[in-house]
Structure 1
């Protein structure tokens, strides 16, 4: 279901339970937000595993399936002073869409 601002809500499904809600204009945007919560690797070169993220779009029967991973890196030189020295970055790759049965 699309909100007035054009964003949609996606619910993270873990072990059959819906745990968190992420919003975004596109499913990938919500998947990136969810991937940032994964345990990050020390660098992009040290990523050893990828997690499967299942995001159900609220108001529909669609479940978007992504493979996600995260890593930490030093903050940019122009980042604000209050920001931590390291930030978490994430990436996702879409694996498909499933439709729930009624």
Structure 2
């Protein structure tokens, strides 16, 4: 379901079917990137050795968007604001497909 601001809510599904965390975004990829930033990060982008499967169900539908996600630590950009920590977590995802729940 689309909110008035154009964003949609996606629920992170665990392997056992439980749904705990809600991420919002105008696209499923935006929500998947937010979820991927919560993964345990690798020390750097070159040292990423594993990817986690992220299954995001769009609220109000039976569609489950499946992504592989990974995260890593990185120094803040040189033009970053003062409030930003010196080390930030970055993430990336790749879409694997869509499933429909029964």
Q: TM-score range by the shorter chain?
A: over 0.9
**In the TM superposition, what is the alpha-carbon distance from 1:82 to its structure 2 partner?**
2.3
Alignment correspondent of 1:47: 48
RMSD across aligned positions (CA): 0.6
Alignment correspondent of 1:4: 4
**In the TM superposition, what is the alpha-carbon distance from 1:86 to its structure 2 partner?**
0.4
Segments ≥4 residues shifted beyond 6 Å = none
**In the TM superposition, what is the alpha-carbon distance from 1:29 to its structure 2 partner?**
0.2
| Superposed CA offset, 1:15-66 (max 9, x none) | 3110100000000000000000000000010000000000000000000000
Alignment correspondent of 1:13: 13
Q: TM-score, normalised by structure 2?
A: 0.97
Unaligned segments of structure 2, at least 5 residues: none
Q: TM-score, normalised by structure 1?
A: 0.97
Distance in 2 of aligned mates of 1:18 and 1:92: 20
Alignment correspondent of 1:81: 82
Aligned length: 101
Distance in 2 of aligned mates of 1:58 and 1:86: 33
Unaligned segments of structure 1, at least 5 residues: none
